[in-house]
Structure 1
Amino acid sequence: MPTHQRQEFWRAALSRTFTSVDIAVPDEVCSGSLRTSPLGRLQIATVEGGPLCVRRTPRLIARGEDQRLIVKLLVRGVASVEQDAREVHLRPGAIAICDMARPLRMAFPQPFQTKSLVLPRRLLGLGESDLRRLTATPIRPDTTVGSLLSPFLTQLVDTAATYPSATGEVLARHVVDLLAVLVGERLHQEVGDTPSTTQVLLPRIQVFIDRHLADPDLTPDAIARAHQISVRYLHKLFQTEDVTVSRWIQRRRLQECRRELARREAAGRTIAAVARQWGFTSAAHFSRVFRDAYGLSPAEWRDSAARVPRSPGGASRMPQAALA
């Protein structure tokens, strides 16, 4: 590209993959590469280039584009990430989570390579407070979460283009589930050792909900009585999750139904039976909220899961990390 066109060409390429950004590139930078591949509703990307500064500004955010999260692994070089009044410096092997719905600055002062997972912001089901705790806080490779996520993300990015479309759709859902677990563990670690009423009681209530998901009478009233608190106080506890108690229960029931529908051993069960197993009393309501949450009907999800090929030993051909 002619020198005067390089910056705009590179900006457009990055914006198509990650969402609209402004960039600054020195004139002497003359090469870069961007390799992308879809994986279901996710996007996989490897970026290599010279010095670069990327900004996500309020002006760009105001356009109302799809809100995305970027899980970015730094493979080579160094980087700094600024978001939510924090700045973090990354070295190879570290991961940063960037929220493209809020202002962001990311700088690479020397040649670099990154591997990224791009996903719709709502897929992780995190509230605003949790998202703000995750941005610009590095996940380093010497931590428990980092030691799992870094090699998994590397393998996923490097192999994403080899999966058939149906396999990619199912694998993408397992990736989101795994990422949600690891992010939840990360948030739990950052709470610290100083207990508070919310930090102690809320996880206990969430475990109680998991144990009683099958009970159609699991309601905020029943949960409050079991823990000898008021319903009003129960709702206050869940405000830290930016979700109502009822929404939390529904989300967990949907997750269990989705997992059950993907099991080949459950292929002979009706969708209504699976819904009843996890506390849904109306099959029509279950189908509606399932589609709203995942973009597929329960039957479509079951069919896509059934198309995933099995290995010679009979197991689904998915990375073990994705099935954890």
Structure 2
Amino acid sequence: MAPDVQERSTPGSFHTTDALPARGRRAYWREALSRTFGAVDMTVPDEVYSGMIRATPLGRLQAVTVDGDGLSALRTRRLVTQDGQDEYVVVKLLDRGVARLEQDGRDALLGPGDVFVYDMARPVRLDLPQSFRTKSLVLPRDVLGLSESDVARMTACPVGPDTPLGGLLSPFLSGLVDGAGNYLPRTGELMARNVVDLLGVLADEVLGRTTGETPGGNRALLLRIRAFIDRHLADPDLTPQVIARAHHISLRYLHKLFESEDATVGRLIQRRRLEACRRDLALHGNTTIAAVAHRWGFISAAHFSRVFRAAYGVSPREWRGTRDVTPQVPSSARLVDA
């Protein structure tokens, strides 16, 4: 008999067949996949050699990696109505293998590096005929800010890694999912906000909307840079020079990208650090102000106090004195994916 699988994948859940005897792997893997996918008809090979599912929360989103042998998943209209998961949209990177996705009258053949969307609210079929790895973000539709009709126009419309947007989105999504469990809570919230912005770029491109910039160009690169800043706020050596080098652009071009923004790149770094410090001052009443400042990349506590007062009109100590320091832990919605 295969070991029990959790009734529904929860934040931080992990399933693997590695420690199971060969005779128990197929039943365990099929059940784990079915629980993770939501209500689906699941087909897996007769011989299952290995499989791993890791799900990690990222704000209201969830990052999920699935690595295993081939499978076929069919979500019918009857199954959609029975499990209450119809408010979720999945943005998926096919990291390894090939796939075929059918939804909303479209049939897409997928290869490594393709990013695609499917909606849990309508019937969908996903076939992965050989060994594969997928990296996904699962999010409530209201977070994405798109109507059901707009989402229906995006499904089964892959963005390839050879396109301007895909060339940015594919490695960004991969890195974000891989690192989801390593972010501090505040950093995870900031990253989730950047993810939603970047998915807005994806929606613009797939839906054929135009903006003042090329969707796959400056806007996507700006969002990627903002996400990089949020991931590295705690590094005191985070500078415009470091950011430019990490993104293979000149310092001059980096500053040009921010000409149309509401802050220079240096001021954005400082603003994000101040926001993180202000949150920690409220949540961690027993932590010294200097420790909070150093945690978020400020080398000098005196400098931190000066810029904090300039930004908020009070000192860090005065601001902390006005706050309720009882931590508020946000609730996480149960999300599903594969």
TM-score per shorter chain, which class? Answer: 0.5 to 0.7
1:77 to 97, 120, 126: 97
Describe how 1:222-241 pairs up with structure 2 within 5 A: none
Q: Aligned pair in 2 of structure 1 residues 78, 24: CA closer, same or farther (>3 Å)? A: same
1:36 maps to 55
> Alpha-carbon deviation of 1:266?
11
Q: Over the residues paired in the alignment, what is the CA RMSD in angstroms?
A: 3.5
1:266, 1:76 → 2: CA distance? 35
Aligned counterpart in structure 1 of residue 138 of structure 2, from 105, 108, 118: 118
Structure 1 residue 4 displacement after superposition: 7.5
Q: Which amino acid aligns with 1:24?
A: T
User: 2:26, 2:48 within 8 Å by CA — same for their partners in 1?
Assistant: no
How far did residue 154 of structure 1 move?
A: 0.7
TM superposition shift of 1:37: 1.0
- Structure 1 position 110, deviation (Å): 0.8
Q: CA deviation at 1:186?
A: 2.9
Structure 1 position 306, deviation (Å): 8.9
In the alignment, is the contact (CA less than 8 A) between 2:38 and 2:83 conserved in 1? no
TM-score (norm 2): 0.55
Residues 58/88 of structure 1: CA separation in 2 closer, same or farther (3 Å cut): same
Change (3 A) 1:20 1:306: farther
Q: Which residue of 2 aligns with 1:53?
A: 72
Q: Percent identity?
A: 51
Matched, 1:311 2:297: yes
- Deviation string for 1:120-140 (max 9, x for gaps)? 122111122211111111111
Could you tell me how far 1:60 is from its partner in structure 2? Answer: 1.4
| Structure 1 unaligned regions, length at least 5 | 192-255, 257-261, 269-298, 315-324
- Structure 2 distance, partners of 1:52, 1:37, is 22
Distance in 1 between residues matched to 2:195 and 2:134, nearest whole Å:
19
CA contact (8 A) 2:30 2:44 kept: no
AA at the equivalent of 1:44: A
**SS class of match (2:177):** helix
Q: Which moved more, 1:6-15 or 1:130-139?
A: 6-15
Shift of 1:21: 2.1
Letter in 2 for 1:115: K
**How big is the shift at 1:155?**
0.6
Name structure 2 gaps, 5 residues minimum: 3-20, 211-261, 263-267, 284-291, 305-338
Say yes or no: does 1:24 pair with 2:43: yes
Contact 1:74–1:91 (CA under 8 A) maintained in structure 2: yes
Instruction: Check the 8 A contact 2:34/2:40 in 1, yes or no.
Output: yes
Distance 2:272 2:167 in 1: 33
Residue 113 of structure 1 deviates from its aligned partner by 0.8
Residue identity matched to 2:88: R
Instruction: Give the structure-1-normalised TM-score.
Output: 0.58
Counterpart CA distance in 2 for 1:158 and 1:170 is 16
1:168-187 alignment runs, 5 A limit? 168-187=188-207
Find the aligned partners of 1:304 and 1:172 in 2 and give their Cα distance. Answer: 18
| Correspondence 1:102 to 2:146 | no
